[in-house]
A and B are shown apart, each in its own frame.
Chain A
Amino acid sequence: MNDHMISRRRFLSYAGAAGAVAGTAAISGCTLGVPGDTHITESGRPSGLRALYATVEANAAAVQSVLPAFREAFGFDLTLDTQPYNALQQKVFSELATRSPYYDIIIVDTPWAPTLTRVLEPMSKYLRDPKLNQLADPAINDFVPKAFYDAGVFKIDDPTAHYPEPEAAPNIDQITAKGFEVLGLPIQTNVLMMGYRKDIFDNPNEQAAFRQQHGRPLAVPDTLDDLVTVGRFFTRPEQRLYGTTLMGGVGDWSTCDFKSYLAAFGGDGHLLSDDLHMAFDSPAGVQALQFMRDLVDKYNIVPPGSESASWDDTASMFDGGLTVMSSNYHTFELSDTVRGGQIAYAVVPKGSSQGPHFGSYMLSINKYSRFKEWAYQAITWITGAQQQMTMVQKELHPTRTSVYEKASADSGLTEKYGNFYSALGKSLNVGVGRPRLTNYTEVSHDIAVQVNNAVAGRISPQTALTAAVTDVRDTLRKADYTVPST
């Protein structure tokens, strides 16, 4: 009898202790203010601003490096809460759906923007207000036009429409005259680019061998045919070396890969036109899927695992020295196992045409923020030319033409990242964005599933495209889009 009395008592004492801890913690959680409670101070400025940001996808480290300078310029702190991509999307949407004023500045990725047009604060009135442009000059004409329009310029009540003049230098009066609005300023652009092992390409033995085999010098492939030739030359499974990578798994990455190849074969890289025609279902689409399949099956120049690979997987493959070339949306970083490796960048190989996928992150003002004007000023400051130049040192992908020019010429950057920035600028010039749909995630998934089926060889490219068309039409119809019959 005594045994369980003691054990019960001891158990209860543990429970009691735990309860005390939990209780204190819970109570303190209830009563202590949330860290960084923001309010207006006597100077009329907020005590702090809060931003919701991405992690490595938008180089949070780069933005964090300018926060001390922000404090100096503004007199208060900007706090960054970061989340990786999927979680970030969920958080951004849920904060805006509940009309929470917690975050003043919110990062928005291009595919999310069409849904959010009504809960992001339009910037035109701030852009026109000289008082609000003292701390930093927005200079929107300096933004790369394509990135600027694709990321942040929307018709609030008709989010599907793209700005009709994507090459024109941004001008606020012209934008509003056409019925569009600026919903955010772009902070980071991501374009599909090719990275390659410069050390391997420069290796004299490789060069000699290639010249012997093919009668011409070894060079970074410029066309898709070149890609196959060079890829085959470098694919040596016994040495655990392959030509290039392919993102064949089910996910947005394969849709992005597909649309890039689609554009390379002459198709419309937007996948759907503004009036929702299924532009991807075309001869170019068939060729694109066939090419992707051939990379795996016929030419064999991609490593095992490509049929289920994502962004992450292909980056790991290249970083680990498994492939000589790769395409992705950011700088690569070779792992320590690869000795003597050097990376250089180029625009992706073209077919009859070219259209690597691109998308941007923009900083927007939360419509329910209490400090909208200050948020605006913070955004213009962060995306300003001077700050972008500082952040470029930490691998930010700039969004201003002037910064690209300076970055390409900067020897320090070239030393660290090779020709990344000049390649990025060139790629951006030919980049093709996404269709503007409120349910882009689901449409992208429909396409990705069929792309994966075709790449794995389970169905033919045409069957895949036809299946994708049916699924996409259905998905669009459910979101109340009117889809044209052909």
Chain B
Amino acid sequence: MTMSTHSNFSSVPRYAGRCLLWLALLLAMVPIVFLVITSLKPEGVTRTVPPTWVFHPTIENYSSVLSTGAGSSVTFGRLLFNSAAVSVGTVILTIAVAVPAAYGLTLREFRRSKGVSSWILSTYMFPPIVAVIPLFIIAGSIGMTDRYPVLIIPYAAFNLPIAIWILRNSLHSIPVEVQEAALVDGANRPQIMWHILAPLLMPAVATAAIITLILAWNEFLLALSLTRAAAKTSPVGVQEFTGLYGTQWGNLTAASCMIAAPIVICVLILRRRVVSGLAFGAVK
């Protein structure tokens, strides 16, 4: 009932298709492999022809990055912490606001839903580059520069449309009969949301959460403009390894791997939740 073994294609093309799929995935891993391998190379063999595959792996790049970074006033560990605080804060704010909003948009009685959802989508079009200047002027004048909320609130606002649309479309695919059955049973809206819809929404919430987490974690432009030292996030820190005058490839890739690692771990955790949360069909 739960596992979809349904396949769209018959055996031979399917086999070829799976081969193609794995080939494509492996190819897509090449840049990742480059990142990881280069981070373990001593600086002398990071750029050679032919590329060096046999070398003495070293963790000196990682240790050099972790010790006070590239001569900056903020340690790399602090950068990671800031990124975590800002990203997790953004995810929580985004989901907390998006779920009710998505539900509100699906209420049959809510006449304006089409207009409002179009408006929400239009806010997504706002180019962040142009928003930077007014944002840092405002942040500066209320003294919020270099504090977490100054990043969390814009990030949540910029990611809200995605989250709302994902959740809304998931809600729409839940048959209305389920809600109506609950209404007939005498439940009110909050109870419907909590007991019935929330579990069914888990995969969509997990998807929206992962996407928001990644986008907030990797955001650079606003982070650069709105922070100085206290709230500086890791993308801003990692680009300090790339001066105009040559890149320290070992350090840069090591830093990048360390920045990507928390995301990968989160993805691994969340993906299992998605799978377990799917162990059902529409409740009969």
Contacts and interface: CB of A to CB of B under 8 A. Distances in A.
B92 A29 contact: no
B17 interface: no
B240 A83 contact: yes
A81 B70 CA distance: 11
B149 interface: yes
A21 interface: yes
B258 interface: no
Nearest to B144: A30
Interface stretch (B102-110, B170-178, B226-234): B226-234
Contacts of B283: 1
Interface stretch (B25-33, B42-50, B119-127): B42-50
B137 A240 contact: no
Contact of A335 (B44, B198, B243): B44
B236 interface: yes
A15 B92 contact: yes
B247 interface: yes
Given A29-B147, A87-B236, A100-B145, A336 B73 contact: no
Interface in B254-279: 269, 273, 276-277, 279
Nearest to B89: A22
A81 B273 contact: no
B165 interface: no
B245 interface: yes
Nearest to A83: B240
A11 interface: yes
Contacts of B240: 55, 82-84, 87
B277 A7 contact: yes
Interface in A33-75: 34-36, 55-57, 60-61, 64
B140 interface: yes
A85 B202 contact: no
A102 B47 contact: no
Contact of B89 (A14, A25, A80): A25
A51 to B, nearest CB: 10
Contacts of B7: none
Interface in A426-450: none
B15 interface: no
B72 A330 contact: no
A7 B278 CA distance: 10
B199 A30 contact: no
Given A5-B199, A18-B88, A102 B228 contact: yes
B85 interface: yes
A257 to B, nearest CB: 14
Interface in A261-284: none
A82 B71 contact: yes
Query: Main SS of the interface on chain A?
Result: helix
B276 to A, nearest CB: 5
B269 to A, nearest CB: 8
Contacts of A482: none
Interface in A304-318: 311-312, 315-316
Interface string B65-87: 00000111100000001001100
Interface residues of B, number: 57
Contact of B202 (A7, A18, A91): A7
Contacts of A401: none
A87 B236 CA distance: 9
B85 A90 contact: no
Contacts of A10: 273
A121 interface: no
Contacts of A330: 245
A7 B202 CA distance: 9
A3 B2 CA distance: 13
Contacts of B225: 90-91, 94
Contacts of B145: 100, 102
Interface string A4-20: 11011011001100110
Contacts of B198: 8
Given A25-B84, A26-B85, A100-B140, 12 more contacts: A7-B277, A8-B198, A21-B88, A26-B148, A26-B149, A30-B148, A34-B229, A82-B240, A84-B242, A315-B245, A336-B45, A337-B48
22 contacts: A4-B199, A4-B200, A7-B277, A10-B273, A25-B88, A25-B89, A25-B148, A26-B149, A26-B152, A30-B149, A34-B230, A55-B243, A56-B244, A57-B243, A60-B71, A87-B236, A90-B225, A98-B141, A315-B245, A319-B246, A320-B47, A328-B245
Interface of A: 1, 3-5, 7-8, 10-11, 14-15, 18-19, 21-23, 25-26, 29-30, 34-36, 55-57, 60-61, 64, 79-85, 87, 90-91, 94, 97-100, 102, 240, 311-312, 315-316, 319-320, 328-330, 333, 335-337
A-B residue pairs, 7 tightest by C-beta: A336-B44, A25-B85, A56-B243, A4-B199, A98-B140, A29-B148, A22-B88
